[in-house]
Amino acid sequence: MRRSRGRALIVVVALFALTLGACGRDDFENDPRPALPSEVSVEINDGKITVAPSEFGAGLANFTVVNLGDTPTTLAVNGPTEFETDEIAPGTNLIQKTEVKSGEYEASAGSTDATPFQFTVGPDNPSAQHDLLLP
Protein backbone atom coordinates (compact mmCIF):
# COMPACT_ATOMS: atom_id res chain seq x y z
CA MET A 1 0.00 0.00 0.00
CA ARG A 2 2.81 2.33 0.84
CA ARG A 3 4.42 1.71 -2.52
CA SER A 4 1.16 2.56 -4.30
CA ARG A 5 0.95 5.91 -2.51
CA GLY A 6 4.57 6.67 -3.35
CA ARG A 7 4.03 5.82 -7.01
CA ALA A 8 0.79 7.78 -7.11
CA LEU A 9 2.57 10.79 -5.60
CA ILE A 10 5.36 10.55 -8.19
CA VAL A 11 2.79 10.34 -11.00
CA VAL A 12 0.87 13.36 -9.65
CA VAL A 13 4.08 15.43 -9.31
CA ALA A 14 5.16 14.44 -12.83
CA LEU A 15 1.76 15.39 -14.28
CA PHE A 16 1.83 18.69 -12.38
CA ALA A 17 5.30 19.48 -13.76
CA LEU A 18 4.18 18.70 -17.32
CA THR A 19 1.08 20.89 -17.04
CA LEU A 20 3.04 23.76 -15.52
CA GLY A 21 5.61 23.57 -18.32
CA ALA A 22 2.91 23.77 -20.98
CA CYS A 23 1.49 27.08 -19.70
CA GLY A 24 3.82 29.39 -21.66
CA ARG A 25 3.75 30.22 -25.35
CA ASP A 26 6.89 29.97 -27.43
CA ASP A 27 5.43 32.01 -30.28
CA PHE A 28 4.75 35.23 -28.34
CA GLU A 29 5.31 38.03 -30.81
CA ASN A 30 7.18 41.10 -29.61
CA ASP A 31 7.46 44.26 -31.62
CA PRO A 32 11.00 44.56 -32.98
CA ARG A 33 13.28 47.17 -31.46
CA PRO A 34 13.58 50.41 -33.37
CA ALA A 35 16.66 50.94 -35.51
CA LEU A 36 19.76 52.48 -34.00
CA PRO A 37 20.39 56.08 -35.11
CA SER A 38 22.95 56.69 -37.84
CA GLU A 39 26.06 58.50 -36.59
CA VAL A 40 27.10 61.09 -39.19
CA SER A 41 30.18 63.34 -38.96
CA VAL A 42 30.23 66.67 -40.76
CA GLU A 43 33.44 68.71 -41.07
CA ILE A 44 33.26 72.32 -42.24
CA ASN A 45 36.53 73.87 -43.42
CA ASP A 46 36.97 77.20 -45.16
CA GLY A 47 37.10 75.51 -48.55
CA LYS A 48 34.97 72.38 -48.26
CA ILE A 49 32.39 70.36 -46.37
CA THR A 50 32.79 66.63 -45.74
CA VAL A 51 29.99 64.29 -44.63
CA ALA A 52 30.96 60.80 -43.48
CA PRO A 53 29.59 58.33 -44.22
CA SER A 54 28.31 59.68 -47.51
CA GLU A 55 25.61 56.97 -47.61
CA PHE A 56 23.54 55.82 -44.64
CA GLY A 57 20.03 54.57 -43.86
CA ALA A 58 16.88 56.59 -43.36
CA GLY A 59 15.55 57.13 -39.86
CA LEU A 60 16.97 58.90 -36.84
CA ALA A 61 20.42 60.42 -37.47
CA ASN A 62 22.86 62.18 -35.16
CA PHE A 63 24.84 64.77 -37.12
CA THR A 64 28.03 65.78 -35.27
CA VAL A 65 29.14 69.00 -36.96
CA VAL A 66 32.57 70.52 -36.35
CA ASN A 67 33.62 73.95 -37.62
CA LEU A 68 37.34 73.92 -38.45
CA GLY A 69 37.15 77.24 -40.28
CA ASP A 70 37.97 80.76 -39.08
CA THR A 71 34.43 82.19 -39.12
CA PRO A 72 31.19 81.22 -37.38
CA THR A 73 28.83 79.31 -39.67
CA THR A 74 25.76 77.12 -39.81
CA LEU A 75 25.11 73.82 -41.57
CA ALA A 76 22.14 73.69 -43.95
CA VAL A 77 20.92 70.35 -45.28
CA ASN A 78 18.58 70.34 -48.28
CA GLY A 79 16.72 67.34 -49.63
CA PRO A 80 13.61 65.36 -48.73
CA THR A 81 14.23 66.44 -45.12
CA GLU A 82 15.59 69.96 -44.62
CA PHE A 83 17.15 71.55 -41.55
CA GLU A 84 19.66 74.20 -40.51
CA THR A 85 21.76 74.18 -37.36
CA ASP A 86 22.35 77.02 -34.95
CA GLU A 87 25.53 79.04 -35.45
CA ILE A 88 28.71 77.07 -34.83
CA ALA A 89 31.70 79.06 -33.58
CA PRO A 90 35.16 78.34 -35.07
CA GLY A 91 36.85 75.35 -33.43
CA THR A 92 33.65 74.05 -31.81
CA ASN A 93 31.11 71.36 -32.58
CA LEU A 94 27.38 70.82 -32.40
CA ILE A 95 25.14 67.74 -32.46
CA GLN A 96 21.93 67.90 -34.50
CA LYS A 97 19.49 65.00 -34.05
CA THR A 98 16.88 64.66 -36.76
CA GLU A 99 14.75 62.13 -38.62
CA VAL A 100 15.84 61.86 -42.28
CA LYS A 101 13.94 60.35 -45.22
CA SER A 102 15.43 58.44 -48.16
CA GLY A 103 16.78 60.51 -51.03
CA GLU A 104 19.58 62.73 -52.32
CA TYR A 105 20.84 65.55 -50.07
CA GLU A 106 23.17 68.54 -50.22
CA ALA A 107 25.01 69.95 -47.21
CA SER A 108 26.18 73.57 -47.35
CA ALA A 109 27.72 76.02 -44.89
CA GLY A 110 25.86 79.26 -44.30
CA SER A 111 28.53 81.95 -44.12
CA THR A 112 31.47 80.35 -45.92
CA ASP A 113 32.34 79.74 -49.55
CA ALA A 114 32.76 76.03 -48.87
CA THR A 115 31.78 73.75 -51.73
CA PRO A 116 28.50 71.93 -50.93
CA PHE A 117 28.69 68.18 -50.31
CA GLN A 118 26.29 65.66 -51.87
CA PHE A 119 25.25 62.61 -49.84
CA THR A 120 22.63 59.86 -50.06
CA VAL A 121 20.18 58.51 -47.52
CA GLY A 122 19.06 55.00 -48.42
CA PRO A 123 16.25 52.75 -47.21
CA ASP A 124 15.29 52.60 -43.53
CA ASN A 125 17.89 51.29 -41.10
CA PRO A 126 17.18 47.71 -40.00
CA SER A 127 15.77 46.88 -36.57
CA ALA A 128 18.21 46.69 -33.67
CA GLN A 129 16.41 43.56 -32.44
CA HIS A 130 19.54 41.43 -32.05
CA ASP A 131 22.07 44.20 -31.32
CA LEU A 132 23.60 44.67 -27.92
CA LEU A 133 22.52 48.10 -26.69
CA LEU A 134 25.03 49.76 -24.40
CA PRO A 135 24.18 52.61 -22.03
Q: What is the pTM of this model?
A: 0.71
pLDDT, one tens digit per residue, over 52-102 is 999 999 999 999 999 998 899 999 999 999 999 999 999 999 999 999 999
Q: Which domains does the chain have, with CATH numbers?
A: 38-124 (2.60.40.420)
Query: How distant, in Å, are the alpha carbons of 54, 74, 75, 86 from that of 81?
Result: 16, 17, 14, 17
Query: How distant, in Å, are the alpha carbons of 13, 53, 59, 65, 90 from that of 122?
Result: 58, 12, 9, 21, 31
SS (H, E, C) 92-120: CEEEEEEEECCEEEEEEECCCCCECEEEE
Determine what percent of the chain is predicted with pLDDT higher than 70.
75
